[in-house]
Chain A
Amino acid sequence: MGKEKTHVNVVIIGHVDSGKSTTTGHLVYKCGGIDQRRLEKFEKAAAQMGKTSFKFAWVLDKLKAERERGITIDISLLKFNTQKYTMTIIDAPGHRDFIKNMITGTSQADVALLVVSAAKGEFEAGVSRSGQTREHALLAYTLGVKQIIVCVNKMDLTEPPYSQKRFEEVVRGVSGFLRKIGYDTTAVPFVPVSGWTGENMITATQKMPWFQGWKVRRREGTACGRTLLEVLDSIHPPIRTINKPLRLPLQDVYKIGGVGTVPVGKIETGVLKPGMTLMFSPAKLTAEVKSIEMHHQGLQTALPGHNVGFNIKNVAVKNLRRGDVAGNAQQDPPSDVSSFEAQVIILNHPGKIKSGYSPVLDCHTAHVTCRFAELKEKLDRRTGKKLEDNPQVLMSGDAATVKLVPIKPMCVESFFTYPPLGRFAARDLKQTVAVGVIKTVVKDQTSKPPQKAQVCK
């Protein structure tokens, strides 16, 4: 099998009609993903129906129908390979709960692929006020997806087809708002493609001789190429935060007969090894790791991204719960916070938000009501500049720095030090009213020092 490729999550964003699914389908179809047996079956069927010319679109349709009935469970359908990476696609739905899921969910996006349609009227609709393009891009930026790729799709449908003028117009429009959001557009590759006919997707096209290739300037040097696949291959690998202190938010805690207490969670940063002394926050307990298992197999070292269960000594199940964070007791142990300062963007709140507003915050696996204790500054979300000190109210679309106070003990971190523990979604009225990243935390000093757990099973 050879050396395993680095794994990268790509979130596909864009307006409904931008051709996201076709584009991603093309990548998956051509670069792995769909298993050979199923592919052959479909291709044979396609040939029988006389649909060989667009068999890929036809196959995609079939797969979509399968997914609609819920009969495919494996997400390998959304995987493909580049030279350097294995990529998993997250095809962003318009579902209102998706945003929360993207923030707290298990699969964080490393790269965003923004698909915009160059077809007449479609680009305009996508970036219009009601379009999803801007909102998605803003969210991606807010949530710390710093790498974005733009593919200008449907070049076969411009007037005239493969129009350079249109491409440039779209690029101008998109770079304009990406810059406003905060992206450095010199580091954003723009590729004219047709997901339908496959121009510039995998191989360079002859139909757009005016396209000299994309080129980007990044801190790490420049990169260039012609196709979308090359762009995807040129991204920076996600930084594996293996050198940081351990952070492991708990998803569940089990009591296993003959073994004892087994917390389960995903390692966000650092490593976990048997013999390590862990500190749990806000439970304020320490315990030693006896063993680690993943998929029923013992592990000597668990790394970031691993979903593991581990057995600990001398802690009763009832003392731990979902939302607690485990860390190395010897190396920057986690601690609960008395308050924290965050930069928030109000997404869709029907009224006015004043200080005292207390929505539920979803941050990693924790789920705690927090009070907007102080509205410190209102910011221009385009530039990040301060607009107003101590604003009285915040409304949808506003960005602000606020001080938040959790109503019960909670462990969070600044986004800068531990990104997965530093972003949150605020929920109220059954929807995501705000998203935010934590700037600074005030660790709780007042409570009693950590104690050894006395309770045994």
Chain B
Amino acid sequence: MSTVNFLAQEKIWFDKPRYDEAERRFYERMNVCFHGFLFRRVLHSCCVLLTLYGSGPVSLVVDDLRAALSKLECRVTVLEKSPAAANPASLKEEDDEDDDDIDLFGSDDDEEAEKLKEQRLKEYAEKKAKKPTLIAKSSILLDVKPWDDETDMAKLEECVRSVQADGLLWGTSKLVPVGYGIKKLQIACVVEDDKVGTDMLEEEITKFEDYVQSVDVAAFNKI
């Protein structure tokens, strides 16, 4: 490992990031100018459309859209301005305005970092787009509790498994002793995050009220 240490302390490569940085900046500036132009055109046409449909029953939606648009517009303005002499005061204002959305935080990074971030995000989005999107799934372990020690647990399990839904897959199960002869059914299932919720599971399972007293989530994990 000492060879590695030696390399790490060597100064040959230390200048490389600086060149990379310079190159990146150059392209970044070109990008921003170009995209800014396109962006404006799109925004403009959207605005025209909005004014055309700006009244009537859809006006609420339109208002939202408009707000979103104006935000975008601000963003573009900032982006266009920043390569040139940036005006920190106005930028700060934009930033605050940005804060109004549902996000839980504001961001107070300075403009330089902001720009860098945009760039990296874009690259990330590109990379991401190439990757096949995975369906988010979770594994849930449910405890299904009977009414007493005489409840037919086999029948109970049958009921639970009869619950069907798109994106729901029942897994293995076992009976876990609780105490005083009572057993609970512990059953695993895999759900697609966007399709099946725990509320729905709970609701459907507790519908078998002759067998089921309650349902608890024992474990909930990402797959």
Asked if B179 is at the interface (CB within 8 A of a chain A CB), the reply is yes
Q: Does A98 lie within 8 Å of B138, measured CB to CB?
A: yes
> Which of B37-45, B49-57, B78-86, B211-219 sits within the interface?
B211-219
Contacts of A138 in B (CB 8 A): 104-105
Judging by beta carbons under 8 Å apart, are A71 and B172 in contact?
yes
A176→B106 CA distance, assembly (Å): 11
- A–B pairs, 14, beta carbons within 8 Å: A17-B128, A67-B190, A70-B139, A93-B193, A94-B222, A96-B197, A98-B220, A123-B120, A206-B1, A295-B176, A296-B177, A296-B179, A395-B102, A427-B199
Query: How many interface residues does A have (CB within 8 Å)?
Result: 81
Partner of A69, one of B16, B124, B145, B190: B190
Q: Interface with B: A229-237, A257-265, A278-286, which one? A: A257-265
**Contact (Cβ within 8 A) A159 B138:** no
Kindly report which residue of chain B lies nearest to residue A125, judged by CB atoms.
B124
Chain A residues in 8 Å Cβ range of B77: none
| B61 CB–A CB distance under 8 Å | no
A209 at the interface (CB under 8 A from B): yes
Contacts of B30 in A (CB 8 A): none
Are A121 and B121 also in contact (CB < 8 A) when A93-B222, A309-B178 are? Answer: yes
Contact with B along A122-142 (1 / 0, CB 8 A): 111100110000110010000
Q: Which residues of A contact B177 (CB under 8 A)?
A: 295-296
Question: Which residue of chain A has its CB nearest to the CB of B201?
Answer: A97
Among the listed B121, B138, B148, B216, which residue makes an inter-chain contact with A256, where contact means beta carbons less than 8 Å apart?
B148
Residues of chain A within 8 A (CB-CB) of B169 are 69-70
The interface centre, meaning the residue of A64, A98, A209, A294 with most chain B CB atoms within 10 A of its CB, is: A98
Convert B126-150 into 0s and 1s, putting 1 for each residue whose CB lies closer than 8 angstroms to a CB of A: 0110000000111101000101111
Q: Considering the complex, give the chain A residue whose CB is closest to the CB of B222.
A: A93
Q: What residue of chain B has the Cβ atom nearest to residue A345's Cβ?
A: B104
Residue of A nearest to B187 (CB): A73
- Is A101's beta carbon under 8 Å from chain B? yes
Expressed in whole angstroms, the minimum distance between the Cβ of A402 and any Cβ of chain B is 18
CA distance A311 to B182 in the complex (A): 12
Q: Which partner residue on chain B sits nearest A104 by CB separation?
A: B217
Question: 10 tightest A-B contacts by CB?
Answer: A70-B171, A293-B179, A121-B124, A309-B179, A93-B222, A93-B138, A121-B120, A296-B177, A396-B102, A129-B103
User: Bound complex: CA of A102 vs CA of B138, how far in Å?
Assistant: 14
Q: Does the CB pair B5–A93 fall under 8 Å? A: no
In the complex, besides A209-B5, A396-B102, 4 extra interface pairs with C-beta distance below 8 angstroms are: A98-B138, A123-B120, A254-B149, A397-B104
| 8 Å CB interface, A186-203 against B | none
Q: Does B13 contact A (CB under 8 A)?
A: yes
In the assembled complex, B87 has its CB within 8 A of some CB on chain A: no
For the residues of A in contact with B, the DSSP-based class is mixed
- Provided the pairs A124-B124, A254-B182, A256-B180 are in contact, do residues A64 and B223 lie with their beta carbons within 8 angstroms? yes
B161-190 vs A, CB cutoff 8 Å, 1 = contact: the mask equals: 000000001111110111111100011111
Whether, in the assembled complex, B117 has its beta carbon less than 8 Å from a beta carbon of chain A, the answer is yes
Closest residue of chain A to B4 (Cβ to Cβ) is A206
- Tell me if B63 counts as interface (CB < 8 A to partner A): no
In the complex, residue of chain A having the shortest beta-carbon distance to the beta carbon of B193: A95
Q: Do A252 and B214 have beta carbons less than 8 Å apart?
A: yes
A448 on the B face (CB < 8 A) = no
Best-surrounded residue of A95, A122, A256, A293 (most CB of chain B within 10 A):
A95
Q: How far apart are the CA atoms of A163 and B197 in the complex, in Å?
A: 42
Q: Whose C-beta in chain B lies nearest to the C-beta of A16?
A: B136
Contact yes or no, A262 B17, CB < 8 A: no
- Asked if B138 contacts A68 (CB within 8 A), the reply is no
User: B221 contacts which of A78, A322, A397 (Cβ < 8 Å)?
Assistant: A78
What's the minimum C-beta distance from B172 to chain A, rounded to whole angstroms? Answer: 5
Cβ contacts under 8 Å, A293 to chain B? 178-180
